[in-house]
Structure 1
Amino acid sequence: MPFNPLEQRGIPLDRQMRTWRELDVQPIDPDRCDPYTRCRIITMNGIEIEAVLFSHHMARHCPDQDVRRQLAQTRAVEAQQQKAVNWLLPGVASVLETTIAYEQVAVDLTAWVARMEPDPYLRQAYQFGLLEDFDHLYRYANLYEMIEHRKAEEIVQGLTEIMPGRPTKYHHRDPTDNVRDPYDRSRTDPLSKLHALTIMSAEQQTMNFYLNVGPQYMEPIARQLYQEIGLIEEEHVTHYESLVDPGETWWEQLVNHEYNECYLYYSFMEQEPDPKVKAVWELHLNMELEHLRIACDLMRRNDGREPEEVVAPELPNVLTFEPNKGYVRELLATQIDLTTLGTGYVREAHERFQAMQALLNDGDRPPSERVMEQHRDMFGREYRLETEGEHPEPSLRSHD
């Protein structure tokens, strides 16, 4: 049955603040949970962090004290939601275990969005970033076996394959070539707005996670790999945030944020097998419905428009975490050698690309290459997880 969040009433805002006991959620069991439960948790943590950060930025640009107070009230609840969601992750998991789960999110979330995206230009942007995150998963999986002597298949459980994508050493581009053309807010499908906001938020949280946890390692190769991939995640945030139309008003963006949270909590509630986690998704959905109502009222009063002018009249099909092996393999076979030039994509190593490679490498091999060399020295092989069929070895001959 279609679900229209604009017609739903949630929990009144004055009843949404939780006690310490209520915020003390029971974490998932990393050895028994569905890997996609962990992925949903990581995704919603990134979504909630984006909601809080956006609200702060909006408040800093808003001269109306009443609006700023309203934003502060809603933001306080969003901050509690973020804590409850992120604290579902177990403390017994190592940083590298969580890192591999972050990259599983990046692969399967981005693949699903790319498959469902109606706009060809936006779809290409997701496909491009997907092949890079796929390679990050591969590099971290090899680091995980080196440092913790465990296999990443215990984390992804065969739902996501682990093998080379577009080699990480080729992800370092001139910053100007990470800026894409934005969608047109007056013409784009409302689903495209949700996709762009979702992937931008997820990549932003991945960037934040790596820049905070990278220095916690003692092993030089681990510190260096987090530093390299953390810089690429910054490129990805630039890549994805530039897809959003900068002409959207603050009020329009606020409604899009709240609508997207309703969409994702509803989606995850519909597919969550863990009853305790599902209860969190359901509770937060009922909170977000009220946040959306408040945002819509602010838009009417301050922007003079109805929310139906900018969002869909009902939620699209639920966003689903599911295996995307065949889709990723097809992209590996057809798009492995792409890089960016301006707002488009090319297969040649153009002058700006070569200059950036020379500047960063300075005759040295990047950490993403050295981690593989050290792994081969230690184990006599690379770590991979291929679940079916054969793959051609990815190459970037046009860049060599």
Structure 2
Amino acid sequence: MTFNPLEQRGIPLDRQVRNWRELAVEPVDPDRSDPYTRCRIITMNGIEVEAILFSHQFARHCPDLEVKRQLAEVRYIEAQQQKAVNWLLPGVSSVLETTISYEQVAVDLTAWVARAEPDPYLKQAYQFGVLEDFDHLYRYANLYEMIEHRKAEEIVDQLTEVMPGRPTPMHHRHPVDNVREPYDRQRADPLSKLHALTVMAAEQQTMNFYMNVGPTYMEPIARKLYQEIGLIEEEHVTHYESLVDPGETWWEQLVHHEYNECYLYHSFMEQESDRRVKAIWELHLNMELEHLHIACDLMRRHDGRDPAEVLAPQLPNVLTFEPNKQYLRELIADQLDLTTLGTGYVRDAHERFERMQQQLNGDGQAPSDEVLSRHRETFGGDYRVETEGEHPVASLRR
């Protein structure tokens, strides 16, 4: 069944404000909920945070008082949506448990996008990044067993494997080599634009999360690991945000944000297993349909263009959280030794990469390697969960 959000009307904006009782959502049960329900919650929180931050930036660059008022009214609803979504996460979960879910999002969301991306250059960008998120999940899983004495398998539930990807210390590159070529806004597939915005928003919220929760730990090894991976998440945001064509006008970007929210709420409503959470996805979709129409009207009035010129005529195939084990194993076997040079990818280390490695790692072991060393000393080996045969790259066991 096709769904064109441009032809659908949602809840009128003046009926979208919720009272405290309506915002007091009950969190999901961490012991009984589908891990992918938590992944959908985390993803939509990142999407809503991006919508809020983008709207604030737009307002700061907009001289039109009436437009600023319109943005503020929609933004308040987006802020309520973000609170309702993020407050679905269980308060009993530790920061590390939530972190492991964040990395499960990064792995299976980015892998799905890579599989679905029609543009080869953009596909390569997602394939490159996902192998790093895969290794972050592995490092945090080892830290989790060390300091909380529990296993990440209880969180990811065999949907996502926990095993090495591209080694985390090798993710530190010179900043200029994290900038990619953007897609061409006039020729790019509308799906490519949605993918870039989605993955950028997801990585941005991970960056923000780590930079804020990292110092809340008392254990020095945890503080150091969050610091290291937090810096890599900054690299990832640079990597993904540079894929977006900077020639898009503010109005064009606004309709892309609203259309993407419709796409994702519709996708998650279609696959959600928790009926109570599904009702929230449906409610927010009906709110976002109205936000999209407001953005489209602003684009017509101020940009002089029809939004249909830049948006997909109907929503693409549903974005799906599902296992990507075989796909990731194939990427590990084929692309593990890649790094970046300029806006491209190379297999051999180069001068800028080696200099950055020496500056960061030259005086000793990187925190991510220290986690593995400490885990091996304590438990006699590293923590991993491989559900289908042996790891495709045996050298990673060294």
Q: TM-score, normalised by structure 1?
A: 0.98
In structure 1, the residue corresponding to 2:247 is in which secondary structure? coil
Superposition map of 1:182-221 within 5 A: 182-221=182-221
Counterpart in the other structure of 2:159:
159
Q: CA deviation at 1:392?
A: 3.2
Deviations 1:273-307 (A, max 9, x none): 10110000000000000000000000000000001
Counterpart contact for 1:132–1:166, Cα < 8 Å: yes
CA distance in 2, matches of 1:78, 1:374: 43
Deviations 1:103-127 (A, max 9, x none): 0000000000000000000000000
Q: CA deviation at 1:362?
A: 2.9
Counterpart in the other structure of 2:180:
180
In structure 2, the residue corresponding to 1:345 is in which secondary structure? strand
Deviations 1:183-236 (A, max 9, x none): 000000000000000000000000000001000100000000000000000000
Counterpart in the other structure of 2:42:
42
Counterpart in the other structure of 2:60:
60
1:108 aligns with 2:108: yes
- Shift >6 Å, 4+ stretches: none
Counterpart contact for 2:299–2:305, Cα < 8 Å: yes
CA distance in 2, matches of 1:156, 1:366: 26
1:390 aligns with 2:363: no
Counterpart in the other structure of 1:170:
170
Q: CA deviation at 1:49?
A: 0.1
Superposition map of 1:1-400 within 5 A: 1-393=1-393
Q: CA deviation at 1:394?
A: 6.0
Counterpart contact for 1:164–1:394, Cα < 8 Å: no
C-alpha spacing 1:394/1:196, structure 2 compared with 1 (3 Å) = farther
Deviations 1:21-70 (A, max 9, x none): 00000000000000000000000000000000000000000000000000
CA distance in 1, matches of 2:17, 2:363: 55
Counterpart contact for 1:332–1:394, Cα < 8 Å: no
Q: CA deviation at 1:395?
A: 5.2
CA distance in 1, matches of 2:183, 2:369: 36
Q: Where in structure 1 are there 5+ consecutive unaligned residues?
A: none
CA distance in 2, matches of 1:362, 1:355: 9
Amino acid corresponding to residue 214 of structure 2 in structure 1: G
CA distance in 2, matches of 1:52, 1:13: 16
How many residues of Structure 1 are paired with residues of Structure 2 in the alignment?
A: 396
Counterpart contact for 1:180–1:342, Cα < 8 Å: yes
CA distance in 1, matches of 2:21, 2:121: 47
In structure 1, the residue corresponding to 2:321 is in which secondary structure? coil
Q: CA deviation at 1:393?
A: 3.2
CA distance in 2, matches of 1:81, 1:242: 27
Counterpart contact for 2:114–2:127, Cα < 8 Å: yes
| Amino-acid identity (%) | 81
Q: CA deviation at 1:80?
A: 0.3
Q: CA deviation at 1:389?
A: 1.3
Counterpart contact for 2:329–2:392, Cα < 8 Å: no
Q: Where in structure 2 are there 5+ consecutive unaligned residues?
A: none
In structure 2, the residue corresponding to 1:388 is in which secondary structure? coil
Counterpart contact for 1:165–1:394, Cα < 8 Å: no
Q: CA deviation at 1:361?
A: 1.5
Counterpart contact for 1:336–1:394, Cα < 8 Å: no
CA distance in 1, matches of 2:394, 2:21: 51
Amino acid corresponding to residue 362 of structure 1 in structure 2: G
Counterpart contact for 2:333–2:393, Cα < 8 Å: no
CA distance in 1, matches of 2:305, 2:19: 37
CA distance in 2, matches of 1:313, 1:13: 24
CA distance in 2, matches of 1:79, 1:370: 39
Counterpart contact for 1:135–1:167, Cα < 8 Å: yes
Counterpart contact for 2:131–2:332, Cα < 8 Å: yes
CA distance in 2, matches of 1:373, 1:395: 16
Counterpart contact for 1:180–1:343, Cα < 8 Å: yes
Q: CA deviation at 1:344?
A: 0.1
Counterpart contact for 1:100–1:155, Cα < 8 Å: yes
Amino acid corresponding to residue 275 of structure 2 in structure 1: P
